[in-house]
């Protein structure tokens, strides 16, 4: 196995791989053969899984996307839940960056990542990226046998090997659980029993936002979605809920193209289920309208407020991507369909 963290760039192996070879390469991450002085590889693998559906048409993710998530995951684990990432008195680079950030902005104890201003989020992600990109990106490339992705530290991107990308998408939930298991085992060794209480939930929800208000603002105010996406009932001001069309439990990310407004009844009953394909088609049409609104080629628009976020999140949106995520969700066990009660 090569020590990939020295590399400035890497190209994934171009040969045809069979599923055994792919599995062998990925599972090495979870064995003692791969270096394990901090929890980085688990955190970075989670940042990849959580960003899996944010790739562009060439399967590229930027370091900003990856380390934005990485920063969020570690912020919540380290400062919100106080989970140490290295044994003894040692501190990892990411913990040093986080501590300096707390001091600089006088951030109160236990503040979750989602309460930061956009400016603070960008600041923190930049610092974490600059500090951690050297150790993390090449190391995971080496640990997975140089088949997972190509990368460039200078260009600040990774590009997935399409064969491995598809393999990972089809087994996302199982790989995610395996990653949590090994990560938790590592963290339990260096933390107190009190800190590691409910550790698996803490890991699973380390990048979960509870405030989805921005999507209500965009969809209700900007796009005038005034009816429940599922049952068609008119939404009342005090009963507008934001629903992840593909369940959050699968996708682990908040993006406008996956958000719909629903009445409390539908939102509570749907939970982690998928809606039938007719609603998928409805969402495709809705997203087409939103994308056109933000990216009308003939006009250069300046976006303000919540729309900056909306425009950014629609940038890489593709209809084909959404359709395959729906299939991937089913392949990963989200195959129970929920049907809303139709209004007569």
Cβ–Cβ < 8 Å for 202, 214? no
What's the chain's Rg over C-alpha atoms?
Answer: 21
What ranges in 217-276 are assigned the alpha helix state H? 248-251, 264-270
Using CA atoms, how far apart are residues 219 and 100, in angstroms rounded to an integer? Answer: 37
The interface with Zn ion within residues 122-181 (CB under 5 A) comprises: none
Minimum CB–partner distance for residue 265 and Zn ion (Å): 6
Minimum CB–partner distance for residue 230 and Zn ion (Å): 5
What ranges in 82-171 are assigned the alpha helix state H? 93-105, 118-143, 162-170
Minimum CB–partner distance for residue 220 and Zn ion (Å): 14
Q: Which residues contact 18 (CB under 8 A, 6 or more apart)?
A: none
Is 194 or 224 the residue whose CB approaches Zn ion more closely? 224
Q: Using CB under 5 A as the criterion, what x/- string covers residues 263-302 for binding Zn ion?
A: x--x------------------------------------
Is 140 or 228 the residue whose CB approaches Zn ion more closely? 228
Is 113 or 230 the residue whose CB approaches Zn ion more closely? 230
Class of residue 89 by CB neighbours under 10 A (exposed 0-12, middle 13-18, buried 19+):
exposed
Instruction: List the one residue out of 73, 82, 158, 90 whose CA is nearest residue 124.
Output: 73
Is 237 or 298 the residue whose CB approaches Zn ion more closely? 237
Q: Using CB under 5 A as the criterion, what x/- string covers residues 224-243 for binding Zn ion?
A: ----x-xx------------
Is 131 or 269 the residue whose CB approaches Zn ion more closely? 269
Minimum CB–partner distance for residue 182 and Zn ion (Å): 40
Instruction: List the one residue out of 117, 4, 9 whose CA is nearest residue 63.
Output: 9
Cβ–Cβ < 8 Å for 74, 55? no
How is residue 283 written in tokens? Answer: 């969402």
Is 218 or 266 the residue whose CB approaches Zn ion more closely? 266
Is 17 or 275 the residue whose CB approaches Zn ion more closely? 275
Minimum CB–partner distance for residue 169 and Zn ion (Å): 30
Cβ–Cβ < 8 Å for 244, 278? no
The interface with Zn ion within residues 172-231 (CB under 5 A) comprises: 228, 230-231
Minimum CB–partner distance for residue 234 and Zn ion (Å): 10
Instruction: List the one residue out of 317, 314, 256, 285 whose CA is nearest residue 57.
Output: 317
CA 197, 199, 202, 205 dihedral sign is negative
Task: Choose the binding region for Zn ion from 27-35, 68-76, 236-244, 262-270 (rule: CB under 5 A).
Answer: 262-270
Cβ–Cβ < 8 Å for 212, 220? no
Structural element, H or E, at residue 158 = strand 157-160
Minimum CB–partner distance for residue 232 and Zn ion (Å): 7
Specify the residue for token string 């996956």: 258
Q: Is 7 in the site for Zn ion (CB under 5 A)?
A: no
Q: Cα 213 to the chain's mean position, in Å?
A: 19
Is 22 or 228 the residue whose CB approaches Zn ion more closely? 228
Minimum CB–partner distance for residue 227 and Zn ion (Å): 8
Task: Choose the binding region for Zn ion from 131-139, 207-215, 256-264, 328-336 (rule: CB under 5 A).
Answer: 256-264
Is 130 or 268 the residue whose CB approaches Zn ion more closely? 268
Task: Give residues in contact with Zn ion (CB under 5 A).
Answer: 228, 230-231, 263, 266
């Amino acid at each position: 196995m090569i020590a990939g963290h020295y590399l400035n760039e890497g190209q994934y192996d171009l040969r045809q791989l069979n599923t055994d070879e792919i599995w062998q390469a990925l599972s090495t991450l979870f064995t003692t053969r791969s270096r394990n002085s901090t929890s980085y590889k688990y955190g970075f693998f989670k940042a990849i899984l959580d960003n899996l559906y944010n790739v562009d048409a060439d399967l590229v993710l930027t370091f900003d996307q990856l380390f934005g998530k990485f920063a969020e995951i570690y912020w919540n684990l380290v400062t919100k839940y106080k989970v140490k990432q290295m044994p003894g008195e040692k501190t990892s680079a990411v913990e040093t960056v986080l501590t300096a950030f707390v001091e600089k902005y006088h951030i109160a104890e236990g503040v979750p990542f989602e309460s930061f201003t956009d400016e603070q989020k960008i600041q923190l992600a930049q610092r974490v990226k600059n500090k951690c990109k050297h150790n993390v990106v090449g190391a995971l490339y080496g640990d997975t046998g140089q088949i997972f992705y190509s990368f460039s530290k200078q260009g600040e991107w990774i590009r997935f090997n399409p064969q491995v990308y598809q393999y990972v998408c089809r087994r996302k939930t199982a790989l995610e659980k395996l990653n949590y298991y090994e990560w938790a085992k590592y963290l339990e060794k260096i933390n107190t029993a009190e800190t590691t209480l409910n550790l698996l939930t803490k890991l699973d929800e380390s990048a979960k936002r509870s405030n989805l208000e921005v999507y209500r603002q965009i969809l209700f105010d900007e796009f005038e979605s005034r009816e429940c996406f599922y049952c068609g009932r008119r939404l009342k001001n005090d009963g507008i809920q934001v629903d992840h069309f593909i369940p959050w439990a699968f996708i682990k990310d908040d993006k406008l193209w996956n958000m719909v407004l629903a009445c409390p009844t539908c939102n509570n009953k749907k939970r982690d289920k998928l809606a039938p394909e007719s609603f998928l088609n409805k969402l495709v049409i809705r997203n087409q309208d939103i994308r056109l609104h933000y990216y009308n080629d003939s006009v250069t628009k300046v976006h303000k407020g919540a729309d900056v976020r909306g425009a950014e999140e629609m940038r890489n949106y593709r209809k084909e991507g959404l359709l395959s995520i729906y299939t991937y969700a089913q392949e990963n066990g989200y195959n129970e369909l929920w049907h809303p009660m139709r209004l007569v």
